[in-house]
Amino acid sequence: MNEKFAILDEFKFEIQPVGVKYLVRPPEGISRLDQRMALCEMLRKAQEGEAFYADMKNHTCEAGPYVLGQTEVEPQLVSGEFGAGLGAFKDNRAAARVYNYIPRIARNAVNYIVFSPLDKLSFDPDVMIFLVPTSQAWILLRAMSYNTGKMWSSRYSSVIGCAWLLVYPFLSGEVNFITSGMGFGMRRRHLFQDGLQFIAIPFDQLPSIMSTLSDMPWIPEPFKPEGLDYVKQLRQRLGLE
């Protein structure tokens, strides 16, 4: 495991975290994906233990190259005809609205996307994506706000969920979290177990979160067996009772 992320070994994850990298040129030492699939399927493949990179020809779903800034989408998608036809929305106008706010990397800024599970990570990721039970998501999100008091905020849409995991954190610099099973395409493809938490951490927050995980108590005093006594004593010390 990359030494920068050694603290993550303490979680004993059932599903491997995945590092994602955006590149203009192909990476060295990593093989090109030898299949065609949707962007969300690539994430699942990396979770299962493979490191690889993909280019525009590897995609089967129009959403992937679109949110990566590699192509434009067909008028039938932007107009909402396709989304309404799938039953994802009531009508064209509702389906078309999402294209006004879906996060998207600037056109032609990215030619390749690299995926690697944590145990094979050989690069500095632009986004690290976790899929964990709520108990572990709670620790990761606490590590984001422990030193700063930052608000936890979740951003998502019922379609093109890949954009909120892969692109939104990269562009915004914000940690995003999403409950698995809520996205239209990922659910249709039966990719991820329902009810887990995706946590997507951008590159500029990874160092501080890793450092905080090493310093922060993962189990706060009020959650320990003597927690009720601890809270009572704290209240008394502060003059709250």
Contacts for 139-146: CB closer than 8 Å, 24+ residues apart: 139/11, 139/213, 139/218, 140/199, 140/201, 140/209, 140/213, 141/175, 141/177, 141/199, 142/216, 143/209, 143/212, 143/213, 143/216, 144/175, 144/201, 144/205, 144/209, 144/212, 146/212, 146/216
In the prediction, which pLDDT does 1 show? 57
Residues 86-129 have pLDDT tens digits of: 899 999 999 999 999 999 999 999 999 999 999 999 999 999 99
Task: Return the pLDDT at 92.
Answer: 93
Q: What is the total count of domains within the chain?
A: 1
Mean confidence (pLDDT) of the chain: 94
Q: Render pLDDT for 147-188 as a digit per residue (tens, 0 to 9).
A: 999 999 999 999 999 999 999 999 999 999 999 999 999 999
pLDDT-based confidence at 74, cuts 50/70/90?
confident
Residue range(s) defining the domain that contains residue 96 = 3-237
